[in-house]
């Protein structure tokens, strides 16, 4: 199947190209990049030797007429402009935020500008989502933090209070994109941790709340503090919420085991093992652990993902596999590096 990547020069775009190079069903025929148009792909992504002789093109909609499927890896607010120029029949997975939210008011509050609309939300492991994705041709890929937090929280809907979910999650610097920013240079980041978008203003908050309400039928309220960690990639999310009266840790573990037993990309660790970001680096895997704080009767969930794979490019390919009728694991069964 001939496919295209629009926005191939960023971190997520580069990760898409890396994973697609080993995909048995997809052939990358067009890769565009705005500011890097005309440059060799390997001048931006030197590790992508499979693309050694190929160049980024300037975006021209007609170049993608040969594609049955297109990935958009553009800055937030840019996808809608591009979609309007593509063929109506082409399947699209958008890694940006443009089509994730249902609420136009929340879009205006957290992103600003006009709301482009709502596509099928591409989180296959959430209840009811997989079948919707399979029948869709336009899918909004979830945000990286939203992926980790929603997957960690959703199974608890029947045993905990989703109206008071507290999350602290640390992410590597690639989560902020490739644009040069003083606060992301090595001298500022190395050896230091800092919270940012402090006070509940992170743009993934409404996305998490909407996705949980769709998946569980319960209204969710998230207090989310993101933390910038001195590493290139990875997310470690710690999620807590009040358990319903009388719920024991054994019951919680059974609920999570049943929720993810047949999911190829989610592993609930045995008691005593803890998720770490290095264990999932380079993979589409989700590492998870649960515990009950008996002192406060709060459920605690620890979740680790690679923000560029399960949090972006890998999940996008997982969604593309589903909308194209392929096994969703195609091209995505790489294990994490571990160190």
> Which residues are identified as catalytic?
144
Residue pair 99/119 in contact by the 8 Å Cβ criterion: yes
Measured CA to CA, the distance from residue 138 to residue 207 in angstroms comes to: 17
DSSP codes joined into one string, 232-299: SS-EEEEEEEEBPTT--HHHHHHHHHHHHTT-TTEEEPPTT----GGGTTTSS-EEEEEEEETTTTEE
Q: Tell me which residue of 154, 269, 166 sits closest to 222, measured CA to CA.
A: 166
Rg, C-alpha atoms of the chain: 19
Q: Tell me which residue of 121, 130, 84, 83 sits closest to 100, measured CA to CA.
A: 121
Measured CA to CA, the distance from residue 161 to residue 145 in angstroms comes to: 20
Measured CA to CA, the distance from residue 99 to residue 61 in angstroms comes to: 20
What DSSP element (H or E) covers 161?
Answer: none
Per-residue exposure over 292-312, b if at least 16 CB sit within 10 Å of its own CB, e if not? beeeeebbbbbbbbbbbbbbb
The CA-based angle 313-314-317, given to 5 degrees, is: 90
Q: Tell me which residue of 98, 58, 291, 305 sits closest to 203, measured CA to CA.
A: 98
Measured CA to CA, the distance from residue 312 to residue 147 in angstroms comes to: 9
- How many residues are given for the chain? 339
């Amino acid at each position: 199947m001939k496919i295209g990547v629009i926005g191939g020069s960023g971190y997520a775009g580069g990760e898409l190209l890396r994973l697609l190079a080993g995909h048995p069903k997809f052939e990358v025929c067009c890769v565009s990049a705005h500011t890097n148009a005309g440059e060799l792909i390997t001048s931006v992504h030197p590790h992508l030797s499979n693309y050694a002789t190929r160049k980024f093109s300037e975006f021209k909609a007609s170049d993608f007429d040969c594609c049955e499927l297109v990935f958009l890896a553009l800055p937030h607010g840019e996808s809608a402009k591009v979609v309007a120029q593509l063929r109506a029949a082409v399947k699209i997975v958008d890694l940006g935020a443009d089509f994730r939210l249902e609420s136009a008011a929340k879009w205006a509050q957290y992103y600003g500008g006009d709301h482009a609309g709502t596509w099928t939300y591409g989180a296959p492991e959430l209840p009811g989502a997989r079948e919707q994705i399979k029948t869709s041709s336009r899918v909004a890929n979830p945000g990286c933090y939203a992926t980790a937090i929603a997957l960690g929280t959703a199974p608890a809907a029947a045993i905990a209070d989703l109206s008071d979910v507290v999350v602290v999650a640390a992410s590597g610097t690639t989560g902020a994109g490739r644009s040069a920013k003083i606060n992301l240079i090595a001298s500022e980041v190395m050896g230091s941790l800092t919270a940012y978008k402090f006070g509940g203003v992170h743009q993934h908050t409404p996305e998490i709340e909407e996705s949980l309400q769709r998946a569980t039928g319960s209204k969710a309220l998230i207090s989310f503090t993101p933390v910038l960690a001195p590493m290139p990639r990875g997310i470690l999310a710690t999620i807590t919420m009040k358990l319903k009266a009388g719920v024991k840790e054994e019951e919680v573990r059974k609920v999570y085991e049943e929720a993810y037993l047949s999911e190829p990309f989610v592993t609930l660790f045995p008691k005593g093992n803890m998720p770490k970001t290095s264990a999932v680096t380079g993979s589409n895997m989700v590492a998870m652990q649960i515990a009950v704080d008996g002192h406060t009767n709060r459920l605690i969930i620890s979740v680790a993902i690679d923000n560029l794979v399960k949090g972006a490019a890998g999940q996008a390919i997982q969604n593309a596999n589903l909308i194209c009728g392929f096994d969703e694991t195609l091209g995505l069964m790489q294990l994490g590096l571990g160190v």
